[in-house]
Amino acid sequence: MAIQIPQDKLAEIRNAADIVDIVSERVALKKTGKDYTGLCPFHSEKTPSFTVSSTKQIFHCFGCGAGGDVFDFLIRFDGISFPEAVQALARRCGIQLPTRQMSPSEKQAVSEREKLFDINKKVLAFYRSQLLRQPAGEKACEYLANRGFSQEIIDRFGLGFAPEGWDNLVRLCRKEQIPLNLAEKAGLIVPRTSKTGYYDRFRNRIMFPIVDVTRQVIAFGGRVLDAEAKPKYLNSPETPIYNKSRSLYGIHAAKEKCRETGIVYIVEGYFDLLAMHQHGIANSVATLGTSLTSGHIRMLRRGYAKKARLVFDSDTAGIKAAHRSIGLFMNESVDVEIVVLPAGEDPDSFLFANGQDAFFEHAEAAKGAVEFLIESAVDAHGLSMQGKIRVVDELKQPLADIQDSVARSVYIRHLAERLGVDESAILERVRAARNQPGRAPQKQVPSAPKAPAETAEKPYSAKNRVEARVVGMMIQYPEIVPTIENQQIIDYFEDIQLKELAELILSHPPKSTDDISQLLNRISDNSQRQLIASLAMGEECWDQTSCEKLMAQFKASRKRRHQELLDQIKTAEKNNDHELLFKLLKEKQKQAVKSG
Ligand SMILES: [Zn+2]
C-alpha cells in the first residue's frame, strides 16, 4: 500500500495483533473447524458466512465478499484510514512506529484521533483526582454514597468530578500543553461568544466517561449534583471519535456477560446502568437519551446478544419505545422484550429498594414487543367495537415497520385472533400503512456510517470459475507455482483481474500456505485484496495430484473453447453473418496470441 510505514513494522504489528482477537472484540465469533465464523458486520444476514482464519490471519465473507487482513477489517469496521488502523494496532501491541517516515497527511490523520483520545485520557485523570483526592469532590463522593453506589462501581466506571468554575480545563490544557482548539474538538471546552477564549463545558458535575469496546475514552456525560440546576444531564457533542448512533454507555463492561447470556438489558440513564452492574446484572448498556438506532442494534447483535430487553419505568414509556423500535429490532433479527417496572420506578430506584431477584421476576415476565403493544392497546381501548378499531389503528404502523413478511403475517394473525376479527381486515390496514410515505423503516435513523450492505463495494465475482480455482490453488498450495509457470498456464487466462493476480503470485511466490499477508502487502486495490482473501479461504485440500488434475481440466476447457470457436466461425461463414464472423475472428486472434 502507498504508505511510508516500513514492511517489517507492518509484519511485526500483524504478528502481534491476532486478527481473531481484534475481530472478536467487535463481532461474536464461534470456532468452526480451524476457522472462526460469525454474522457479517458488513451486510445483513441471519446465518453466519463471515469467516476469520487464525492461521492465515485474514477474514472473508462468503456472503458479500468483504475480505482482507486485520488492517482492512479495522478500516472498514471502525471507519478509519489505513494509517489510523496501523497506529491503533501498534499502540495496542506496544509497538513504536517511526512517525517521521509518514507523510504529513498520514501523520495528521493518525494524530488527530490519537490526540483526541489522549486529551480525553488526561481530562479523565483530572476529573478522577478531583473526585477522589480534592476537597471539591467530597460532596460528589457523598452524593454517590448516599445513592448507594459502591466505591468498586465508581472505580469500575471511572467516575470523576468536574469542579465549579469556568476555566479549570482551560488551565489544565495550558499546563499539559494541550492545544485549545483540540480540546474544543474533543467537546470539552466551548469558545466564548462575546470575547476571545474558551470556557469549560462541564462544571460542577459528576462526570461519566463514555468508553468504547477497546476501552478508550470517547466522550463524557455530566450530571449536576443539585437537583435544581439545569440541564440535569449534559453530554459531549459528536466529535471525530464520538458517534452517538454507534455508542452505548457501558458496552465495554457488558460485552462478556452479554455473550455469556445472549441477552442484553437496555436502560436509559447513567445511574440505571451503574445500578444494574452493582446488582450483578452486568449484561446491561444505556442509551443516554438518544433513541436506539439500527447502528446500536447491529452492534449488539453482531457482537454480543440475540435478545434485547428494554427496561422502562412505566407502560407509557415502554409503549412509546416499543412503537419506535419494533421495526428496527425485527429487521436486525434481534428478539426484543419490554420489561416494565412498577410505575415511578427506574432500574436505579427499583434495584436499590428491591434487589436483583425482584428485578429478575419482572424481567422474566417481560413480553415480546409486539405482544406487549397488543396487550397495552387492548388494556387501553377495550374490546368493544370502537376499541378494536382503535387497537388496530394503533398497531398498524409498528406492524407495517416489520420488513420480514413471514414475521409480519404471524403477528397480524395473532392480533386478529386476539381481537376476534378477520385477518384480512387488519392486513388491509397494515398494507395501507406500509404504502404511506410516513415514518417507514427506511426513514429511521441511518445505520453506522461505514457499515453495511448499502455502502458495501460490489465484491468481485470471478466469471471464470476454473481460473479462480487455479489462482486459489496457487495461494493455498504454493508448491505448485513453479509447475504453473513452466506450463505457462496463466497465459491462457481470460479474466484480467485474475491474470494480474496470478502474475503477481508468479513474481513473488508465497513461501507457505499461511503467507497471505506478504501478498496482501503488495496490493493496495481493495477489490483485489478482497479477491485474495476469498481465494485463500477456499476449503479445497490440495496435493500434487489434485493440482495436476485441475491444470489438465483447465487446459481441456481451453481446447474445448477453441474448438467451439472454430465451429461457430464455420456456421457464421455458412450463414453469411459478417458481423458475427468478424467478432469471432477477433476472438480467435486473441486466443492465438494467448497460445502463441
Ligand atoms: Zn458480508
Q: What domains can be seen in the chain, in order of their start residue?
A: 2-108 (3.90.580.10), 112-242 (3.90.980.10), 244-448 (3.40.1360.10), 457-595 (1.10.860)
Centre of ligand 1 from the C-alpha of residue 13, in Å: 25
Centre of ligand 1 from the C-alpha of residue 448, in Å: 15
Centre of ligand 1 from the C-alpha of residue 130, in Å: 46
Q: Which residue has the cell 444476514?
A: 45
Q: Residue 514: pLDDT above 70?
A: no
Q: How far are the Cα atoms of 16, 24, 33, 201, 214 from residue 21, in angstroms, in the given order?
A: 10, 5, 17, 37, 11
Centre of ligand 1 from the C-alpha of residue 11, in Å: 26
Centre of ligand 1 from the C-alpha of residue 155, in Å: 39
Q: Residue 452: pLDDT above 50?
A: no
Which region holds residue 51: left if phi is over 0, alpha if psi is between -120 and 50, else beta? beta
For residue 459, the model assigns a pLDDT of 47
Give me the percent of the chain exceeding a pLDDT of 70. 91
Please give the Cα distance from 267 to 472 (Å, whole number). 48
Centre of ligand 1 from the C-alpha of residue 58, in Å: 14
Cβ atoms within 10 Å of 315's Cβ, excluding its own: 17
Please give the Cα distance from 327 to 400 (Å, whole number). 8
Centre of ligand 1 from the C-alpha of residue 456, in Å: 9
Centre of ligand 1 from the C-alpha of residue 436, in Å: 31
Centre of ligand 1 from the C-alpha of residue 476, in Å: 22
Partners of 38 in the β-ladder: 50
Which region holds residue 384: left if phi is over 0, alpha if psi is between -120 and 50, else beta? beta
The answer to whether the peptide bond before residue 135 is cis (omega within 30 degrees of 0) is no
More confident call, 61 vs 333 = 61
Check: CB of residue 470 under 8 Å from CB of residue 484: yes
Centre of ligand 1 from the C-alpha of residue 49, in Å: 7
b/e code 360-375 from CB counts within 10 Å (16+ = b): eebbeebbbbbbbbbe
pLDDT-derived band at 99, boundaries 50, 70, 90: low
Q: How far are the Cα atoms of 360, 368, 399 from residue 406, in angstroms, in the given order?
A: 31, 17, 12
Rounded to the nearest 5°, which phi and psi values hold at 289?
80, -30
pLDDT in tens, 516-545: 777 887 777 888 888 888 888 876 778 888
Centre of ligand 1 from the C-alpha of residue 210, in Å: 29
Centre of ligand 1 from the C-alpha of residue 41, in Å: 6
Highest mean pLDDT pick, 108-122, 386-400, 462-476: 386-400
Which of the residue ranges 236-250, 450-464, 564-578 would you say has the lowest mean pLDDT?
Answer: 450-464
Centre of ligand 1 from the C-alpha of residue 300, in Å: 17
For residue 445, the model assigns a pLDDT of 36
Q: Any idea of the CA torsion for 342, 348, 352, 355, to the nearest 10 degrees? A: 60
Centre of ligand 1 from the C-alpha of residue 48, in Å: 9
Centre of ligand 1 from the C-alpha of residue 44, in Å: 7
Contacts of 104 (CB under 8 A, 6+ apart): none
Centre of ligand 1 from the C-alpha of residue 60, in Å: 8
Helices (H) and strands (E) in the chain, counts: 25, 16
Centre of ligand 1 from the C-alpha of residue 79, in Å: 16
Please give the Cα distance from 414 to 241 (Å, whole number). 44
Centre of ligand 1 from the C-alpha of residue 226, in Å: 49
Q: How far are the Cα atoms of 271, 483, 492, 545 from residue 555, in angstroms, in the given order?
A: 70, 14, 8, 15
pLDDT-derived band at 443, boundaries 50, 70, 90: very low
Centre of ligand 1 from the C-alpha of residue 36, in Å: 14
Highest mean pLDDT pick, 140-154, 297-311, 471-485: 140-154
Centre of ligand 1 from the C-alpha of residue 43, in Å: 5
- How far apart, in Å, do the first and last CA atoms of the chain sit? 34
Rounded to the nearest 5°, which phi and psi values hold at 215?
65, 30
Rounded to the nearest 5°, which phi and psi values hold at 199?
-130, 160
Centre of ligand 1 from the C-alpha of residue 523, in Å: 21
* Average pLDDT score over residue span 99-124: 78
Centre of ligand 1 from the C-alpha of residue 325, in Å: 24
Q: Residue 312: pLDDT above 90?
A: no
Centre of ligand 1 from the C-alpha of residue 66, in Å: 6
Centre of ligand 1 from the C-alpha of residue 38, in Å: 10
Check: CB of residue 67 under 8 Å from CB of residue 58: yes
Centre of ligand 1 from the C-alpha of residue 136, in Å: 51
Centre of ligand 1 from the C-alpha of residue 337, in Å: 28
For residue 169, the model assigns a pLDDT of 95
Q: Residue 106: pLDDT above 80?
A: no
Q: Residue 592: pLDDT above 70?
A: no
The helix (H) or strand (E) run that includes residue 485 is helix 481-486
Give me the percent of the chain exceeding a pLDDT of 90. 38
Centre of ligand 1 from the C-alpha of residue 453, in Å: 8
Q: How far are the Cα atoms of 11, 323, 391, 409 from residue 319, in angstroms, in the given order?
A: 53, 6, 13, 21
In terms of Cα–Cα distance, which of 234, 237, 166 is closest to 197?
166
Q: Residue 284: pLDDT above 50?
A: yes
Centre of ligand 1 from the C-alpha of residue 110, in Å: 27
Centre of ligand 1 from the C-alpha of residue 327, in Å: 22
* Average pLDDT score over residue span 187-206: 92
The helix (H) or strand (E) run that includes residue 408 is helix 405-419
pLDDT-derived band at 456, boundaries 50, 70, 90: very low
Centre of ligand 1 from the C-alpha of residue 67, in Å: 9
DSSP string, 88-120: HHHHHHTPPP-GGGS-HHHHHHHHHHHHHHHHH
For residue 449, the model assigns a pLDDT of 37
More confident call, 101 vs 158 = 158
Q: Residue 221: pLDDT above 90?
A: yes
Specify the pTM. Answer: 0.66
Centre of ligand 1 from the C-alpha of residue 185, in Å: 34
Centre of ligand 1 from the C-alpha of residue 71, in Å: 17
